[in-house]
């Protein structure tokens, strides 16, 4: 039996961001060649999944922009899941929003529909945690009544701050 649900952001939390020289900014992986795990992230997921249901909730607007295919998105998530499973952990859910911010949907973080769907399936009344690298992760977490951890640099108002997912997992497991 789980002690609750830990919701994890994907890009910048589990996976390293990719520098896009065309856009001159950091972005999420668009194909398997761009998948690079942040040090300690898989270990953290393994540790968390021994006690909690682990769910990855991610905004993926590149789907709507035509820069990321659903096939590549599924392959990236399968790669994450396979690696975590190989090391002895488990991710129960992968949920994504394909929309850009201007659409105004209910699934794009900081909105909470993706979180609420998972909470309903799990029928969870236990502690909830949200870990991510952006203020939208913190905002979504607060809206669902979760404790929040923002990875550095911090620009939101999280319950806790951590340098990476491994440190965040230790905070969660201590509480």
pTM recorded for the entire structure: 0.96
Mean pLDDT confidence for 51-78: 97
Residues 83-140 pLDDT 10s? 999 999 999 999 999 999 999 899 999 999 999 999 999 988 778 999 999 999 999 9
**Average pLDDT value for the chain:** 95
Q: Which two tokens stand for residue 109?
A: 């973080």
Asked if pLDDT for residue 2 goes beyond 80, the answer is: no
pLDDT given for residue 150 in this prediction: 97
- pLDDT tens across 10-62, in order? 999 999 999 999 889 999 999 999 999 999 999 999 999 999 999 999 999 99
Report the b/e string of 99-133 with b at 16+ CB within 10 A. beeeeeeebbbbbbebbeebbeebeeeebbbbbbb
* Alpha-helix residue ranges (DSSP H) falling in 100-149: 113-122, 135-143
Taking only the tens place, the pLDDT of each residue in 126-153 is 789 999 999 999 999 999 999 999 998 8
Residue 1 has pLDDT above 60, yes or no: no
pLDDT score of 131: 98
In contact, 5 and 53? CB cutoff 8 Å: yes
pLDDT at 154 over 90: no
Domains and CATH numbers, the chain: 5-174 (3.40.50.1000)
Region of 29 please: left (phi>0), alpha (psi -120 to 50) or beta. Answer: beta
CA 137 – CA 147 distance, rounded (Å): 11
């Amino acid at each position: 039996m789980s002690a609750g649900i830990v919701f994890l952001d994907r890009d910048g939390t589990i996976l390293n961001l990719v520098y896009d020289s065309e856009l001159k900014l950091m972005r999420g992986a668009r194909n398997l060649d761009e998948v690079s795990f942040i040090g300690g992230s898989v270990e953290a997921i393994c540790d968390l999944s021994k006690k909690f249901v682990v769910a990855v909730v991610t905004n993926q607007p590149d789907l709507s922009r035509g820069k990321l295919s659903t096939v590549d998105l599924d392959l990236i998530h399968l790669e994450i899941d396979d690696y975590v499973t190989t090391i002895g952990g488990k991710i129960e859910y992968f949920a994504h929003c394909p929309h850009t911010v201007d659409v105004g949907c209910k699934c794009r973080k900081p909105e909470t529909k993706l979180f609420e769907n998972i909470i309903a399936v799990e029928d969870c009344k236990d502690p909830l945690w949200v870990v991510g690298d952006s203020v939208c992760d913190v905002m979504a977490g607060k809206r669902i009544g979760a404790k929040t951890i923002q990875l550095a640099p911090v620009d939101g108002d999280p319950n806790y701050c951590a340098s990476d997912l491994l440190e965040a997992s230790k905070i969660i497991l201590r509480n």
